[in-house]
């Protein structure tokens, strides 16, 4: 039987019920949370457990990154300060067609995971190519990854057409069936890169196989104008007619959305991945997050890829989301600290259909747990740890991370060897990509 781990923090935070416990223990057995009880009781009941003392720390569920392209960390800072379509068509897509391979995706994903774990992010909803390399990279690092299998109409070195992207996605799902840490979604890239026929096939397959769908929707005004010209309706209307909207869908961005569209999203149970940093950097706009929440839409937070953020820092994006929501709503009471924290934890879990496994600290859930040391000068004094976590804490204050019960980050150090290898690989890719640069 594996030894029990008994975590003894100053504060323990349960975002789903907005509960803040003091001097409680969280006991981990294997991959799950075995108990949450007062510290004294835990010591009496499990005297032989490995005690991990966290006297100045808040313990909370690992953050959930609801929209990312992990492998794109290798293109961080490659092309900045451009409009979305110029950035994609003239810089990112050409670079991807030259470099993206199994090796690129494996190394880029592990570089992302190195950064994500150190910043307290224990689960990422990804979208990219070479799905098997993403899955292998995650498993090798003991990281929880929802692998979004990108689907496009046009060819890339990975696949020649929508059919072959779909075939590879399903093969990959079969190959990794039964893995606790890895699951798969179908990820039609966006309304402007995917045809009606392909959307119909995605909907049928997702329905038959019980898979989630992950898609960029209403990111920019250009996307909406393009759809009005080509299809005569806004993208969401087109997707609604095709039957895409439902609780299996995570819609990334949703920056430009009318009241009627918000009512439709809420009615259909669509989840939204809000990406505040990416939306600011690409000048996509300010998503009306507070209005979406009032309409009853479940909203989580994503970093988007490092090529458009440029850091996979969910603590920074959580703060940014709380601030942007206030200015977008002209209302300083919009998105208070607890709600912002819920977006990055239990809301993300619900969006992934994983609310019964991750996203809070409860007996029986997977032990995806992070500890944040609040003694840094920037988080002192500490009247309210939740306020400090949302408005003041820096990701460097994350001291310890557990994923499925494994202590993957201990006292600010990765315990796995993958992180060192990922850093070396990043250096090799930097030399290779820089020497092949044409744009």
Instruction: Enumerate binding residues for Zn ion (CB under 5 A).
Output: 304
291-308: b (≥16 Cβ within 10 Å) or e: bbbebebbbbbbbbbbbb
Q: Closest distance between Zn ion and the C-beta of residue 151, in Å?
A: 14
In the bound state with Zn ion, the residue whose beta carbon lies nearer, of 304 and 339, is 304
Closer residue to Zn ion, CB minimum distance, 60 or 252: 252
For the bound state, the minimum distance from the C-beta of residue 402 to Zn ion, rounded and expressed in Å, comes to 28
Residue 67 beta carbon to Zn ion: minimum distance, rounded to whole angstroms: 6
Q: What element of type H or E holds 224?
A: helix 221-231
Query: Do residues 18 and 63 make contact, with C-beta atoms less than 8 angstroms apart?
Result: no
Contact 292, 272 (CB under 8 A): yes
Q: For Zn ion, which is the closer residue by CB, 286 or 410?
A: 286
Q: How far apart are CA 193 and CA 154, in angstroms?
A: 8
**CA separation for the pair 151, 65 (Å, rounded):** 21
Shortest gap between Cβ of 216 and Zn ion (angstroms)?
5
* For Zn ion, the closer CB: 11 or 129: 129
- Residue with smaller CB distance to Zn ion, 107 or 304: 304
Q: What are the distances in angstroms from CA 41 to CA 23, 87, 243, 422? A: 11, 57, 52, 42
Closer of 95 and 390 to Zn ion (Cβ): 95
Query: Minimal CB distance to Zn ion: which residue?
Result: 304
Cite the DSSP H helix spans in 88-160: 93-99, 102-118, 131-140
Burial class (CB in 10 A: 0-12, 13-18, 19+), 118: buried
**CB distance 70 to 126 below 8 Å:** yes
363: tokens are 């007996």
Q: In angstroms, what is the minimal distance from the CB of 66 to Zn ion?
A: 11
Question: 115 or 304: whose CB is closer to Zn ion?
Answer: 304
For residue 21, give the H/E element and its range. strand 19-22
Contact 340, 322 (CB under 8 A): yes
Nearer to Zn ion, 308 or 360 (CB): 308
Which one, 56 or 304, has the nearer CB to Zn ion? 304
The overall longest dimension of the chain from CA atoms, in Å, is: 69
Radius of gyration of the chain (CA): 21
Min CB(312)–Zn ion separation in Å: 12
Backbone angles phi, psi at 231, to 5 degrees: -115, -10
In this structure, are strands 50-61 and 369-373 parallel, antiparallel, or unpaired?
antiparallel
Give me the least distance between CB of 70 and Zn ion, in Å please. 11
Q: How far is the CB of 189 from Zn ion (least distance, A)?
A: 9
CB-nearer residue toward Zn ion: 261 or 304: 304
Smallest distance, Å, CB 69 to Zn ion?
A: 6
> How far apart are alpha carbons 151 and 194 in whole angstroms?
8
**Nearer to Zn ion by C-beta: 169 or 217?**
217
Burial-class residue 20 by CB neighbours within 10 Å (0-12, 13-18, 19+): middle
364-390: buried (b, 16+ CB within 10 Å) or exposed (e) per residue? ebbbbbbbbbbeeeebeebeebbbbbb
CB of 128 to Zn ion, least distance (A): 10
How many Cα atoms are found within 13 Å in the side-chain-facing hemisphere of 106? 13
Report, in Å, the least distance between residue 278 CB and Zn ion.
7
Which run of H or of E encompasses 371?
strand 369-373
């Amino acid at each position: 039987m594996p030894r029990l781990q008994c975590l003894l923090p100053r504060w323990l935070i349960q975002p789903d019920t907005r509960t803040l416990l003091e001097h409680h223990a969280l006991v981990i057995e294997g991959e799950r949370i075995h108990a949450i009880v007062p510290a004294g009781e835990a010591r009496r009941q499990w005297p032989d457990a490995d005690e991990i003392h966290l006297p100045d720390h808040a313990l909370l569920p690992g953050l959930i990154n609801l929209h990312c392209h992990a492998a794109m960390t290798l293109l961080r800072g490659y092309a900045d300060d451009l409009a979305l379509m110029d950035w994609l068509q003239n810089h990112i897509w050409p670079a991807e067609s030259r470099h993206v391979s199994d090796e690129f995706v494996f190394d880029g994903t592990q570089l992302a995971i190195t950064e994500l774990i150190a910043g307290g992010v224990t689960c990422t909803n990804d979208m990219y190519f070479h799905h098997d390399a993403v899955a292998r990279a995650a498993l090798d690092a003991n990281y929880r990854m929802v692998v979004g299998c990108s689907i496009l109409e046009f060819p890339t070195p990975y696949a020649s057409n929508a059919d072959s992207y779909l075939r590879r996605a399903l093969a990959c799902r079969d190959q990794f069936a039964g893995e606790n840490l890895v699951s798969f979604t179908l990820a039609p890239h966006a309304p402007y890169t995917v045809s009606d026929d392909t959307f119909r096939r995605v909907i049928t397959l997702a329905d038959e196989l019980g898979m989630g769908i992950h898609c960029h929707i209403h990111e920019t005004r250009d996307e909406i104008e393009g759809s009005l010209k080509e299809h005569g309706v806004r993208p969401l209307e087109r997707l609604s007619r095709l039957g895409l909207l439902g609780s299996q869908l995570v819609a990334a961005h949703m920056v430009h959305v009318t009241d009627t569209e918000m009512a439709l999203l809420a009615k259909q149970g669509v989840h939204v991945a809000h990406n505040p940093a990416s939306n600011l950097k690409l000048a996509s706009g300010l998503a009306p997050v507070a209005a979406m929440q009032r309409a009853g839409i479940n909203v989580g937070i994503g970093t988007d890829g490092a090529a458009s953020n440029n850091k996979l820092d969910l603590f920074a994006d959580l703060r940014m989301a709380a601030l942007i929501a206030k200015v977008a709503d002209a209302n300083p009471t919009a998105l208070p600290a607890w709600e912002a924290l819920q977006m990055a934890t239990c809301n993300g879990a619900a969006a992934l259909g994983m609310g019964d496994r991750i996203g809070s600290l409860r007996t029986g859930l997977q032990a995806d747990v992070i500890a944040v040391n609040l003694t840094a000068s920037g988080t002192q004094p500490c009247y309210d740890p939740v306020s400090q976590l949302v408005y003041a804490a820096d990701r460097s204050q994350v001291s310890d991370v557990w994923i499925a019960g494994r202590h993957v980050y201990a006292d600010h150090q990765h315990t796995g060897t993958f992180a060192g290898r990922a850093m070396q690989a990043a250096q090799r890719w930097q030399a290779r990509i820089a020497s092949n640069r044409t744009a």
